[in-house]
Structure formats: structure tokens, C-alpha cells
């Protein structure tokens, strides 16, 4: 049993309503469970495979879910990078290992299942790329059509390829992500499509399981959880989920929620450093990390609370720092991620170097998407392959 509750005025909405924002004040909604009716134990969860649906008692879906077996992503100990920074317990949760190659799949298995549960016939989203790839894939699995709006020319190649191949109706608009989101929101309200951006509270329900898994894999609560921040849905989701584990008595402390943005797209980091009550949108966000190129983060209100309530922080890193960390993860740890994902670890590097954290902290960085999502940015950073004549002598001469 759950209700949708406005995080601002507390207005309540029934679980059968198709609604994205509070009808009274326009603020965000969140799923609230009736904890008296939730009957599950840690032991019961532990007996199930490490996958997202292990946690079904804390998810809103009551029908058979639309699933591609998302979740259960690896948690890697970053030994080499950690040693260089003096951090013994630095981990990366590799969300690029989900079915479509990003954590968006956690939101979509729940979101598309809810679309069917609510009787919706078509799903839609605006996207910097990964949301569209994931939505296309889950809509295909569900057998329903999907419509995705992308900012023209600003989406990494692999993501467009996925959305197209999985059969979404892909529309590139001459405008940025924030504009695409306004447009798709209007479209959904007007035409009755189901909106699956992270304003949709069910998306965040799926994404909160990143935190559940990290705790199960570590065998305890980390001191800090670090996430790249675009629309700020994921950091809000992980925080919400861990709060629920506290309510259930499964854990007794919260990690410091830490958000990392790109220098050219950092409204959340600014709001934290300047102690603003809310974020001031950035009209022209720019960064090579296209997945976090967002000037008006939809979930900012939730994210600021998450960060402040846990004594966390938000900071920004430059595109150069992001790309350098993408290479370090790839070459020193064997972890292949897209640029936005490297931002979380780049943020920790900066905090460690500037003395902004305790080096004994147990830190989990969420790395959000796979290396192959953005092959063009990778190729531009690397030496091209050495081309030689097809004989052994040439081969030996280039290897010498």
C-alpha cells in the first residue's frame, strides 16, 4: 500500500491517479508506503538473487513487472586510485552494467511497469540520451510504443543508436534538454501519454535500489555516497531509499550524500556552496558530460534536502578533470564509464586533494553509465590504432 504525497504541502494522492506534480502547489510528489503493512526481513531479501526486484516490498508495482533483469551491478574496490588519494575504502558501483548500460534501467523497470499498471498505452520522455535508450528498451519489452525527445546534436552516439534500434519514435528538437522536457511534459498532459522523466516519482523508486544494493554488497552503510548530478533524481532516490531502510530498522545511519556536477552546469553545487534556499537555473549549461548537461534540475528540491539532511555536499569539477578520471578508471582500474559517470570519482579526488573529507571514510561512488555510450568522446582522447603492413617485421618494429 502506498500513496503519492506532495513534498511541499503534504497533499495526498491515490495510487491510481496519473499525476506528476501536486495539483495544489505544483511541487514534486513522492511515494510513501504504509510501513505497518510492509512485511519483510533482511534475511528474506538476502535469500533472493542480488537484482532490483529483490526489494519488491519497497516498490510500488503490484502486477508482473516489465523486467530485463536490471540491478545486481558490480561494486568494485578502486584500489589503485584509492591508494593514490590515500583512501583505503573507495568503491565504484558500476551502473553501466545494467541492461541498457546505465542506471536509468532501474527507473524504467518500475516506471514502465507502472505505466501498464495504470493502463497507459504509450510512454514518453525527454532525454540527454540514457533515459531514451532505456525507455525504448523497456517499452519494447512491454510491447508498447515510446516517444523520445532529444536535444539535437547533443546526445552521445551510442544512446541515439539504442533508442533508434529498440524502436522508439525519436525526435530531435532544436533546443536544449530543459526545453525538451517542457515540451514532452505538455505533450503528455495534452495527449495522455505517460511521462517517464524523473519528475515521475516511480522512476525514483526503482533508482533507490542502488543504495540498497551498495549496502548489501558492502555489508554495511558507507560513510559517503557520491553521485553525478544532472536532474538530481538519482541522488534524491538513493537518499529516500536509505531513509526507508532506517524506518524499517534495517540500518541506523545515513551516508553523507554528495553530488558532483560539471563546472559549466552546476546549479545544485552553487546552491549548496552559496547556501541558497533553492537552485537558480542555468540557461546555457555546457559540458562534455552530456548526461549531466542540465541547467534546471527537476529534482533539485529533493536533492538539496538529501544533501543538507545528511551533512553531505555538492561540488563541481571541470571537463578536463572528468576526462582525466574517465581515463584513470579505464586504465588503472579496468572500469569503463562514460564522462558523466567519471564525475563522481573526479569529485572525490578533488575533495581528497583539498582536504574536504576524512581519508578513513568508506566511500561509494556511483558510476552511472557505460564507456560505449559515448564512443566519440573516447576516440577523441585516444591515439588512433597504429596501422601497419601485414607482415611480422612491421609488427615487431612498431612494438619495439
Ligand X SMILES: *Cc1c(COP(=O)(O)O)cnc(C)c1O
Q: Which residues bind ligand X (CB under 6 A)?
A: 102, 104, 130, 198, 228-234, 291-292, 338, 340-341, 368-369
Among Zn ion, ligand X, none, the one that 162 touches (CB under a kind-dependent 5 to 8 A) is: none
Which one of Zn ion, ligand X, none interacts with residue 338, CB within 5 to 8 A by kind?
A: ligand X
Nearer to ligand X, 116 or 224 (CB): 224
Residue 87, binding choice from Zn ion, ligand X, none, Cβ under 5 to 8 Å by partner class: none
Nine-digit cell at 313? Answer: 555536499
Task: Give the closest residue to 69 by CA, choosing from 107, 110, 112, 98.
Answer: 98
Q: Is 233 annotated as a binding residue?
A: yes
Q: Is 230 annotated as a binding residue?
A: yes
Q: How far is the CB of 262 from ligand X (least distance, A)?
A: 10
Name the residue nearer to ligand X (CB basis): 65 or 129: 129
Would you say 136 is a known binding-site residue?
A: no
Q: Does 80 bind Zn ion (CB under 5 A)?
A: no
Q: What are the distances in angstroms from CA 60 to CA 118, 167, 204?
A: 11, 27, 11
Q: Which is nearer to Zn ion, 10 or 192 (CB)?
A: 10
Give the C-alpha separation, 70 to 112, whole Å: 13
Could you tell me if 148 and 169 are in contact, meaning their C-beta atoms sit under 8 angstroms apart?
A: yes
Q: CB of 6: closest distance to Zn ion in angstroms?
A: 3
CA 104 – CA 76 distance, rounded (Å): 20
The residues in 22-51 that bind Zn ion, with binding defined as CB under 5 A, are 22, 24-25, 27
Query: CB of 11: closest distance to Zn ion in angstroms?
Result: 5
Judged by CB under 5 A, which stretch of 16-24, 197-205, 239-247, 379-387 contacts Zn ion?
16-24
Neighbours of 43 (CB within 10 A): 7
Distances (CA, A) of 340 to 68, 89, 146, 336: 24, 22, 25, 12
Nearer to Zn ion, 28 or 115 (CB): 28
> Which of Zn ion, ligand X, none sits in contact with 339, Cβ below 5 to 8 A by type?
none
In 3D space, the residue among 296, 287, 288, 229 whose CA is nearest the CA of residue 258 turns out to be: 229
Other C-beta atoms lying within 10 Å of the C-beta of residue 358: 11
Query: Which parts of the chain fold into alpha helices (H)?
Result: 42-46, 79-85, 104-117, 130-142, 157-165, 177-191, 201-207, 209-218, 233-247, 267-273, 300-309, 319-332, 339-353, 375-381, 392-399
Task: Centre a 10 Å sphere on the Cβ of residue 53 and count the other Cβ atoms it contains.
Answer: 20
Return the one option of Zn ion, ligand X, none that residue 229 interacts with (CB less than 5 to 8 A, by type). ligand X
Residue 194 dihedral angles phi and psi, to the nearest 5°:
-95, 120
Nearer to ligand X, 28 or 232 (CB): 232
Is 311 annotated in a binding site? The answer is: no
> Whose Cβ is closer to Zn ion: residue 30's or residue 269's?
30
Q: Of Zn ion, ligand X, none, which one does residue 130 interact with (CB within 5 to 8 Å by kind)? A: ligand X
Q: Which does 25 bind (CB under 5 to 8 A by kind): ligand X, Zn ion, none?
A: Zn ion
Ranked by CB distance to ligand X, the top (closest) residue is 369
Cβ count near 231 (within 10 Å): 27
Tell the smallest beta-carbon distance from residue 14 to Zn ion (Å): 15
CB of 268 to ligand X, least distance (A): 9
Residues 82-121 that bind Zn ion (CB under 5 A): none
First-last CA distance in the chain:
67
Residue in the block written with cell 558492502: 218
Q: Which one among 2, 4, 5, 6 touches Zn ion, defined by CB under 5 A?
A: 6
Q: Is 101 annotated as a binding residue?
A: no
Annotated binding residues = 130, 230-234, 368
Q: Which residues bind Zn ion (CB under 5 A)?
A: 6, 8-9, 11, 22, 24-25, 27
Amino acid at each position: 500500500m502506498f500513496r503519492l504525497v506532495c513534498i511541499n504541502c503534504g497533499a495526498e494522492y491515490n495510487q491510481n491517479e496519473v499525476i506528476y506534480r501536486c495539483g495544489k502547489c505544483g511541487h514534486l510528489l513522492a511515494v510513501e508506503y504504509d510501513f505497518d503493512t510492509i512485511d519483510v526481513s533482511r534475511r528474506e531479501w538476502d535469500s533472493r538473487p542480488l537484482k532490483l526486484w529483490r526489494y519488491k516490498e519497497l516498490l510500488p508495482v503490484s502486477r508482473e513487472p516489465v523486467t530485463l533483469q536490471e540491478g545486481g551491478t558490480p561494486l568494485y574496490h578502486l584500489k589503485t586510485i584509492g591508494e593514490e588519494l590515500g583512501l583505503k575504502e573507495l568503491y565504484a558501483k558500476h551502473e553501466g552494467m545494467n541492461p541498457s548500460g546505465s542506471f536509468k534501467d532501474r527507473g524504467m523497470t518500475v516506471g514502465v511497469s507502472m505505466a501498464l499498471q495504470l493502463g497507459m498505452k504509450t510512454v514518453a520522455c525527454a532525454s540527454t540520451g540514457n533515459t531514451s535508450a532505456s525507455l525504448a528498451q523497456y517499452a519494447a519489452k512491454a510491447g508498447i510504443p515510446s516517444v523520445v525527445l532529444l536535444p539535437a546534436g547533443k546526445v552521445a552516439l551510442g544512446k541515439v543508436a539504442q533508442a533508434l534500434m529498440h524502436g522508439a519514435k525519436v525526435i530531435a528538437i532544436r533546443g536544449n534538454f530543459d526545453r525538451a522536457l517542457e515540451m514532452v511534459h505538455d505533450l503528455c498532459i495534452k495527449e495522455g501519454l505517460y511521462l517517464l522523466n524523473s519528475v515521475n516519482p516511480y522512476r525514483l523508486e526503482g533508482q533507490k535500489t542502488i543504495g540498497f544494493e551498495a549496502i548489501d554488497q558492502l555489508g554495511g552503510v558507507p560513510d559517503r555516497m557520491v553521485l553525478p548530478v544532472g536532474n538530481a533524481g538519482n541522488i534524491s532516490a538513493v537518499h529516500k531509499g536509505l531513509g526507508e531502510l532506517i524506518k524499517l530498522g534495517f540500518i541506523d545511519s545515513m551516508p553523507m550524500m554528495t553530488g558532483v556536477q560539471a563546472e559549466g552546469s552546476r546549479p545544485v553545487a552553487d546552491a549548496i556552496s552559496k547556501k541558497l534556499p533553492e537552485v537558480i537555473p542555468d540557461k546555457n549549461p555546457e559540458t562534455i558530460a552530456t548526461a549531466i548537461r542540465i541547467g534546471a534540475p527537476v529534482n533539485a528540491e529533493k536533492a538539496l534536502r538529501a544533501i543538507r539532511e545528511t551533512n553531505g555536499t555538492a561540488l563541481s569539477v571541470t571537463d578536463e578533470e572528468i576526462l582525466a578520471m574517465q581515463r584513470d578508471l579505464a586504465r588503472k582500474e579496468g572500469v569503463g564509464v562514460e564522462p558523466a559517470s567519471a564525475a563522481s570519482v573526479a569529485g572525490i579526488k578533488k575533495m581528497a586533494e583539498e582536504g574536504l573529507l576524512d581519508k578513513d571514510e568508506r566511500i561509494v561512488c556511483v558510476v552511472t553509465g557505460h564507456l560505449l555510450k559515448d564512443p566519440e568522446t573516447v576516440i577523441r582522447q585516444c591515439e588512433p590504432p597504429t596501422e601497419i603492413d601485414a607482415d611480422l617485421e612491421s609488427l615487431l618494429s612498431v612494438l619495439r
